[in-house]
C-alpha cells in the first residue's frame, strides 16, 4: 500500500467517523426537549384572597395606597371587579367616593345624628337587644362569651362618636388605641415595643420610618377576634407526603 493510499484511507475513516458523530448529535438531542410548563398557581391567586386588615379610607390613603390586605369583595362582586387605576408609582389610586368609607367598621353617626341619640334596650343579662334591621350590621362579639357587649362601655352615652375609658377619660375615634389600652394593658405594652401588630417600612430608623398599624386597623372593635382567612395555595408536591399511621381505633394502649 502506498503512503498516498494509506493517508487517503485514514482521512476517509476519520471523515466517516465525524459524519457518524454529526448524525448522532443531530438525531439524539444533547439535552431533553423543552418541558411544556403549566402554571401551577393561578397568577391572580394573590388577588382573590380576602385579608383581615380592616382600614379606613383615610388610613389607606395615608399608607400610600397599600391595599394588600383589604377585603374589597365585601362590596364589589368578584366576577366583575372594578377598574383599578394605577398611579405613576404603580400604586392604586383610590376613587373619591371611597375617601370617607369605613371598611368593615360601622360608624353609628352615619345614620344616627349626634343630636338624636340612640335609645338602647337591654335584656335581663345586660346584653344589648339589637333592634330589627340591625341584625348583621354589627356583630357584637367583644370579650370571652361576648361579655363586653354594652355599647356604653366604650361609647359615650350622649355622643356615640365620642369614646371614654372605664376611668371616664374622653377620647376621640382617632385615639381608639388608647381606649383599647385601658383594658388590654399587656398587649398595648407589646404593641408599643413593636412585638404586637403588623409592621412594615424600615427596621433601621436611620434609613426611613417604620409603618405601624393601630388596633382598629386589624381588629374590628365590635368583634375583635379574627374571623379566619382562606389559606393561599400550598406547595405543589410531586409525591404525596408520608402520613403518620392512624392510631388503632378500638384498642386502648394507655398505660
Partner 1 sequence: MNPEETDNGISRRSFLRTSAVLSAGVAAVAAGLAPLRKLGQFSSVDEFLQKYYKELTPAEMKGVLTRIEDEVQRQYGIRPHVRDYKPMNGVEFVYALNLTRCVGCRKCVHACVAENNQSRNPEIQYIRVLKMPNDGTFDVDKSEHDYAPKSVPVPGSFFMPVQCHQCRNPPCVKVCPVKATWQEPDGITVVDYNWCIGCRYCEAACPYFARRFNFTSPSIPASQLNLNMSYLGNRPRYKGVMEKCHFCIQRTRAGRYPACVEVCPTGSRKFGNVLDPNSEVSYILKNKRVLVLKAELGTLPRFFYYFDV
Q: What's the CA gap between 183 and 178, in Å, rounded?
A: 9
Cβ distance to partner 1 smaller for residue 46 or 58: 46
> Which residues lie below 8 Å from residue 71, measured CB to CB, with a gap of 6+?
50, 51, 52, 54, 103, 104
Stretch that binds partner 1, among 105-113, 145-153, 160-168, 187-195 (CB under 8 A): 187-195
Cα radius of gyration rounded to whole Å, the chain:
33
Containing H/E element for 171?
strand 170-171
65 and 94 Cβ atoms separated by less than 8 Å: yes
Q: What's the CA gap between 60 and 57, in Å, rounded?
A: 5
Q: What's the CA gap between 108 and 226, in Å, rounded?
A: 22
Cell of 76: 364589589
How many amino acids of this chain bind partner 1 (CB under 8 A)?
A: 62
Among residues 197, 214, 223, 224, which is the contact residue for partner 1, using CB under 8 A? 197
Among residues 80, 90, 145, 207, which is the contact residue for partner 1, using CB under 8 A? 207
210 and 200 Cβ atoms separated by less than 8 Å: yes
Query: Least CB distance from residue 9 to partner 1, whole Å?
Result: 10
142 and 194 Cβ atoms separated by less than 8 Å: no
Query: Least CB distance from residue 105 to partner 1, whole Å?
Result: 17
Site residues for partner 1, 94-153, by CB under 8 A, read: none
Among residues 43, 90, 145, 252, which is the contact residue for partner 1, using CB under 8 A? 43
Among residues 1, 124, 237, 249, which is the contact residue for partner 1, using CB under 8 A? 237
Query: Least CB distance from residue 96 to partner 1, whole Å?
Result: 27
Hunting for cell 382562606 — which residue is that? 230
Stretch that binds partner 1, among 39-47, 94-102, 127-135, 154-162 (CB under 8 A): 39-47
Can residue 228 be called a binding residue for partner 1 (CB under 8 A)? yes
Stretch that binds partner 1, among 33-41, 81-89, 113-121, 123-131 (CB under 8 A): 33-41
Among residues 1, 124, 193, 249, which is the contact residue for partner 1, using CB under 8 A? 193
Can residue 80 be called a binding residue for partner 1 (CB under 8 A)? no
Q: What's the CA gap between 100 and 127, in Å, rounded?
A: 31
74 and 103 Cβ atoms separated by less than 8 Å: yes
Q: What's the CA gap between 130 and 110, in Å, rounded?
A: 18
Count of other CB atoms within 10 angstroms of residue 175? 15
Query: Least CB distance from residue 30 to partner 1, whole Å?
Result: 5
Binding residues (CB under 8 A) for partner 1: these are 4, 7-8, 11-12, 14-15, 18-19, 21-22, 25-26, 29-31, 35, 37-41, 43, 45-46, 49, 51-53, 68-69, 190, 193-204, 206-208, 213, 218, 226, 228-237, 241, 244
Amino acid at each position: 500500500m502506498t503512503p498516498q493510499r494509506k493517508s487517503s484511507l485514514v482521512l476517509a475513516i476519520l471523515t466517516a467517523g465525524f459524519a457518524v458523530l454529526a448524525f448522532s448529535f443531530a438525531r439524539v438531542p444533547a439535552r431533553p426537549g423543552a418541558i411544556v410548563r403549566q402554571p401551577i398557581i393561578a397568577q391572580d391567586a394573590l388577588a382573590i384572597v380576602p385579608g383581615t386588615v380592616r382600614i379606613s379610607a383615610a388610613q389607606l390613603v395615608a399608607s400610600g395606597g397599600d391595599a394588600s390586605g383589604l377585603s374589597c369583595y365585601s362590596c364589589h362582586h368578584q366576577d366583575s371587579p372594578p377598574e383599578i387605576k394605577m398611579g405613576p408609582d404603580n400604586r392604586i389610586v383610590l376613587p373619591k367616593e371611597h375617601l370617607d368609607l369605613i371598611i368593615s367598621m360601622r360608624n353609628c353617626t352615619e345614620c344616627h345624628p349626634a343630636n338624636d341619640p340612640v335609645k338602647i334596650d337591654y335584656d335581663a343579662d345586660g346584653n344589648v337587644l339589637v333592634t330589627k334591621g340591625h341584625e348583621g350590621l354589627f356583630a357584637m362579639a367583644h370579650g370571652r362569651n361576648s361579655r363586653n357587649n354594652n355599647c356604653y362601655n366604650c361609647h359615650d352615652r350622649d355622643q356615640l362618636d365620642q369614646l371614654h375609658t372605664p376611668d371616664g377619660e374622653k377620647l376621640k375615634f382617632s385615639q381608639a388605641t388608647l381606649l383599647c389600652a385601658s383594658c388590654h394593658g399587656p398587649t398595648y405594652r407589646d404593641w408599643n415595643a413593636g412585638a404586637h401588630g403588623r409592621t412594615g417600612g424600615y427596621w433601621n430608623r436611620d434609613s426611613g420610618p417604620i409603618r405601624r398599624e393601630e388596633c382598629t386597623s386589624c381588629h374590628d372593635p365590635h368583634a375583635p377576634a379574627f374571623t379566619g382567612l382562606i389559606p393561599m395555595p400550598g406547595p405543589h408536591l410531586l409525591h404525596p407526603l408520608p402520613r403518620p399511621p392512624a392510631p388503632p381505633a378500638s384498642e386502648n394502649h394507655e398505660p
